[in-house]
Amino acid sequence: MKKVSQSKQEHAFLANKAYHMRVNSVLMTTKVGSGHFTSSLSCADLVSALFFSGMRFDPQDPQNPDNDRFILSKGHASPILYAVWRELGVISKQELQAYRTFESVLGGHPAPKFDRVEVATGSLGIGLSAGLGMCLAARLDKRSYHTWVLMGDGELAEGSVWEAAQLAAHYKAANLTAIVDVNAWGQAGKTLYAHHMDRLKAMWKAFGWQVITVDGHDIPAVCRAYRTARAHQGEPTVILARTIKGKGVTLVQDKPGWHGKSLSVDQEQTALKQLARIYHKDIPTPTYTWHPHLPKHHERKLPATQPLALPSYTLGERRATRYAYGQALAALGTADARVVSLDGEVKNSTFAQLFEEKHPARFFECFIAEQNMVSMAVGLSRRGKKVFCSTFACFFTRAFDQLRMAAIGEANIALVGSHAGVSIGADGPSQMGLEDIAMIRALPGSVVLHPCDAVSTWKLVGAMNNYTGISYLRTLRPQTPVIYPNEEVFEIGGCKVLRFYEDADACVVTAGYPVFEALKAHDALLKKNIRISVIDLYSIKPLDAQTVIAVGRTAHGRIITVEDHYPTGGLGEAVTSVLCNEGFQITSLSVKNLPHSGTPEELYAYEGINAAAIERAVRG
C-alpha cells in the first residue's frame, strides 16, 4: 500500500471537515427557511484550514487568555461559524438545528450570547477594528495570541475598514491577519472590485500591509498562507482569497439572486448529493488524528486595582469639566492598570493627553477616525481592558452604527464627549454636540451622565469604570465653578437637590452648564419672593425618578426642564417619560433654534435657556 504523507493526510482531513461544514450550512438554513448559506460555502475551506490548522487555541476553554482570537466580520455567514464549532464538538446537532430560532443562542448574525463569539457582527466594517483592539490588548498584556478576522469583499467598500487598515499599519500590528473572502458577489450584484485581485492587492499594499493572494479553495495553499502570516513581523497581513460564492452547489454557484436565501427541501437534496459527489472522500489511511494547537501559556493573572483617589478641588474655583475628566482619568489609570484611553486626535481639547502623559503605553491615538476608534474599544474591552474613548460629543454621531453594534454585543466601554452644547460659543453648530444625549439614550443598557463641575466629573469617571455596559459622560468647554465638596458621593442613577422648598412655586430640573443658569434664576426670583427648587440631574439615564417626583410634588407639580441639547431625545424627554402619568405640568426649555457662532451668553439667550428664560418660564 502506498504511504500517504502526513501533510496530505492533514489536507484531506481539512477538506473533509470543510465538506461537513458545507453540508451543515445547507441543512440549518433550509430547516429555518432563511440564512446565508452561499456566503458560507465560499469560505468553508478558509475556515476549516484556519480552525483545524492555522489557529492556536483550546476549543474547550474559550476563556484561555492566550487563545488565538477569531472574528467573523462577514457576520451574515454565521452558518459556517456554527458549523465549525459543531465539528469541534462544542455545538450539538440539536443546537445546530435550532439556528435562528427564538430559543437559540445561534442567531442569524453572531453575538456573544454564544460564548465562542468575540464581538457582535452583521453590520459590515466592524470586525477589523475590533480585531485591532484585541491585538493591541495582546501587546499590553505581553500575550502571544494572534487575531484572525474573516471579511467579505463587499465590506471593503466600508470606510471604517480603511480607518482600521491605516491604524493597524501605523501600530505595526503584526499579530493581526485579515482574511478576505473574495467571492465577487454582494447582496444585489457584483462587489466593487469583483475578482480584480491585482487591484485589491495594490490597495492593501498601499496601506502598509503584507499581502498574500491565494486560491481560497486550495487548502494546502491556504495553510501555507496562514503559516506565513503568523510568522511575519513588522506589519499586519491580509490574505486575499479568491473564492466562488455557493461553491459546490451548481444551482447557486457564482450566480446572482441567492444572497440570504435558502434552498427548498427538494433543492436541498440535490445540493447534498452534489456536495457528496464532489467532496466526500474517505480520509487516506492511516487515519489522521487531529489535536488542537494549544497556546503556549495560560497564566490567568488579573491586574491589581484600587479605588479612584479623592479629588482636591477648592469650592468656587473654576475648572472645565473636560479638564477634570483628563485629571480623573490619569488618576484612574494609576489606580487601575486595566484602564486604556483612546482619543480621536483631539486629546488637547478632551484632555485625554493628561492620561497619555502618565500612562503612554496605555494611550492609543486613533486620529480622526471615530468609527474605528469605537470598535477598537470593543475589541480591547473583550480582552479585559476598561476603555475610555474621547472626542467631541458631536463626532460620536459618525460612529453610531459602531455604538449600536457595541450595544448588541453587550460591550463594556466608556465614552466621553466634550464640547457639548451651544456653550462652546464661537466655533458654531458644526462643533456643538446637540444630539448626543438622544443618541446614547437610545442604546439598550446605556448610561448617560452630564456633570456640571469638576468634583462631580471626577467622581462619575470612577463610577463609569465600575459600570458594565456602555456609559457616556458629557463634558463642557467653559470653565464652571466647583460647587460640590471633594467628599460628595455621586452614583449612576442619582441626582442632587441644590435648592429645596416645601412649598416651591416650581422645580427646575437641569444638568451641565444650565445648572448655573438655574441657580442664577433662583437667586433673582428669591428677591421677588418666588421660590424654586433646583435639581442637578447629572444622571440622565438611569434617572432618579423618585427624587424628581417627590421634589416636583412639593412645587405644586410644576416642572421646568432646562438643557443645552435639542429637545428630541434629551433631558426634557427623559424627565417627561417618567412623569407622564404623574399629573405634572412640564415646561421644556431646550435648543430649538439652529444655533450659530457667538458667545455662550448670547447663544443661551438666543435659545431661551438662560437665567432670564428660566425666570420667564417660572412666572408664566
C-alpha distances (whole Å) from 227 to each of 18, 212, 478 are 19, 11, 54
C-alpha distances (whole Å) from 55 to each of 49, 64, 575 are 9, 14, 51
C-alpha distances (whole Å) from 127 to each of 132, 133, 520, 548 are 9, 10, 49, 42
What is the DSSP-derived secondary structure letter of residue 296?
S
Q: What is the 3-state secondary structure (H, E, C) of 496-553?
A: EEEECCCCCCEEEEECCCHHHHHHHHHHHHHCCCCCEEEEECCEEECCCHHHHHHHHH
Radius of gyration over alpha carbons of the chain, in Å? 28
- Contact criterion met (CB below 8 Å) for 51 and 291: no
- Contact criterion met (CB below 8 Å) for 522 and 532: yes
Q: Annotated catalytic sites, by residue?
A: 370
Q: Which three-class secondary structure state does DSSP give residue 213?
A: strand
Distance of CA 316 to the CA centre of its chain: 38
Rounded Cα–Cα distance for residues 326 and 353 (Å): 7
CA dihedral 512→514→520→523, nearest 10 degrees, is -80
C-alpha distances (whole Å) from 99 to each of 28, 44, 78, 107, 187 are 6, 18, 10, 6, 21
- Contact criterion met (CB below 8 Å) for 446 and 541: yes
Grid cell for residue 157:
467598500
Measured in degrees and rounded to the nearest 5, phi and psi for residue 524 equal: -65, -40
Would you say the C-alpha torsion 306, 312, 316, 318 has a positive or negative sign? negative
Rounded Cα–Cα distance for residues 126 and 375 (Å): 6
Rounded Cα–Cα distance for residues 435 and 595 (Å): 13
Rounded Cα–Cα distance for residues 417 and 475 (Å): 6
Measured in degrees and rounded to the nearest 5, phi and psi for residue 424 equal: -70, -20
Q: Output b/e per residue, 598-616; b: 16+ Cβ within 10 A.
A: eebeebbebbbbbbebbbe
Nearest to 74 by CA among 243, 304, 263: 243
Amino acid (1-letter code) at residue 271:
A
Rounded Cα–Cα distance for residues 131 and 618 (Å): 53
